Structure 1
Amino acid sequence: MTTTDPFPTDWTPQQVEVMHRLRDWAVGFAELNQHLATWMRLPGSDANALGQIIWADEANAPLSPAQLSRRIGMTSGATTVLLNRLETAGHIRRSREHADRRRVTLRPVPAARERAHEFLALAGTEIAATLRAADPHELATVISFLSKIAGAATEATDRLASHRQELQRQAVSVRAR
């Protein structure tokens, strides 16, 4: 894949507007997460992690600590400290549910799930109303588009991680000389 600087590219006004709306959603989501943090009496990073754990569990795709670490952009060590705080506070539990007993699964405790649901019932009213009012064809288009955008973001993240690893290997090679 060749790299292209997106800024000097001629974007249509509609493409620029899409990028602005995606940014607006990201900002709004971050603000809602801060409200969740206040609601749960947690630091923002802990609320973000707890939200990720609850969403994944409700989708029947519970996270491992490594998966959570990638989702929240923290090192494995920092994620372990965060998980220790959440577990000590009684918000999550770690379990070994797989044949490979080394694999840890993160689950919210029922009380934390209930508290988060209370928050969503209060905070999600407008979003739920908007989703319920949307035309099914409009939703299908949005799902398709956002899936493509998420895939592109994943590709970019993977490419950047590979680039970072290559730079680290080069730095180690230079120091070894």
Structure 2
Amino acid sequence: MTDPLTAEWAPAQVAVMHGLRDWVVDFTELNQHFATWLDLPGSDANALGQITWAAETGAPLSPVRLARRIGLTTGATTVLLNRLEAAGHVHRSRESADRRRVTLRPSAGARERAREFLAFAGAEIAATLRAADPDELDVVIGFLARITAAAAEANQRLGRPGGSRGGRGS
């Protein structure tokens, strides 16, 4: 197996990885601003953003799927959801034929506050997306789909028993 830290990488490959890292850093900072905007802890704002985005795209989250997305245990996610629900930001419902399955939805007020934030904070991102050439967007969509699938595959492998063998002493 090639060592990714010492392998020869093309300058464009390195630039892409740096660009993706920079996007993650900037997105994380935007999430911190969203938390301040809502007067919430960062973890709560991240969860609320995930819940809102998923609901807006027609694929609302369950508590288990939310826990995976935000990197918390299901127990910690339950505590977080209790806070968001008590503050009136989130509703839990049983929309499925399987009444055990819980669906998370943002409240109307939380959805409105998120829209206000995005209108204010996302102006530059929206302008960049609107100005992009459709062919350029198609290329980016394809690349992001492939790199996201690769990351998901690595996460699945690492999540299996014995999959995460790193750490000190290995």
TM-score in same-fold range (> 0.5): yes
Which of 53, 78, 91 is residue 51 of structure 2 equivalent to? 53
- 1:36-86 Cα offsets, whole Å, 9 max, x none, are 000001000000000000000000000000000000010000000000000
What does residue 27 of structure 1 align with? 25
Which of 128, 131, 140 is residue 129 of structure 2 equivalent to? 131
What does residue 174 of structure 1 align with? none
| Structure ranking higher in helix proportion | 1
TM (norm. structure 1) is 0.90
* d(CA) in 2 for partners of 1:144, 1:93: 34
Please report how far the alpha carbon of residue 5 of structure 1 lies from its aligned counterpart in structure 2 after TM superposition.
3.0
Q: Aligned ranges for residues 61-80 of structure 1 at < 5 Å? A: 61-80=59-78
Q: 1:4 to 1:105 in 2, by over 3 A?
A: farther
Which of 103, 106, 120 is residue 108 of structure 1 equivalent to? 106
Letter in 2 for 1:82: L
Runs of 4+ in structure 1 over 3 Å off: 163-167
* d(CA) in 2 for partners of 1:152, 1:74: 22
Q: 1:164 to 1:79 in 2, by over 3 A?
A: farther
Q: Which runs of 5+ in 2 are unaligned?
A: 166-170
SS of 1:6's partner is coil
- 1:132-169 Cα offsets, whole Å, 9 max, x none, are 000000000000000001000100000111144787xx
* d(CA) in 1 for partners of 2:101, 2:152: 24
What does residue 168 of structure 2 align with? none
- 1:65-123 Cα offsets, whole Å, 9 max, x none, are 00000000100000000000000000000000000000000000000000010000000
Letter in 2 for 1:123: A
What does residue 3 of structure 2 align with? 5
Residues 52, 106 of structure 2: 8 Å contact kept: yes
TM (norm. structure 2) is 0.94
Q: Aligned ranges for residues 115-126 of structure 1 at < 5 Å? A: 115-126=113-124
Please report how far the alpha carbon of residue 9 of structure 1 lies from its aligned counterpart in structure 2 after TM superposition.
1.4
SS of 2:160's partner is helix
Q: 1:100 to 1:111 in 2, by over 3 A?
A: same
Q: Aligned ranges for residues 125-164 of structure 1 at < 5 Å? A: 125-164=123-162
**Which has the higher Rg, Structure 1 or Structure 2?**
1
Corresponding pairs, count = 165
Give RMSD over aligned pairs. 1.3
Identity of aligned residues (%): 68
What does residue 83 of structure 1 align with? 81
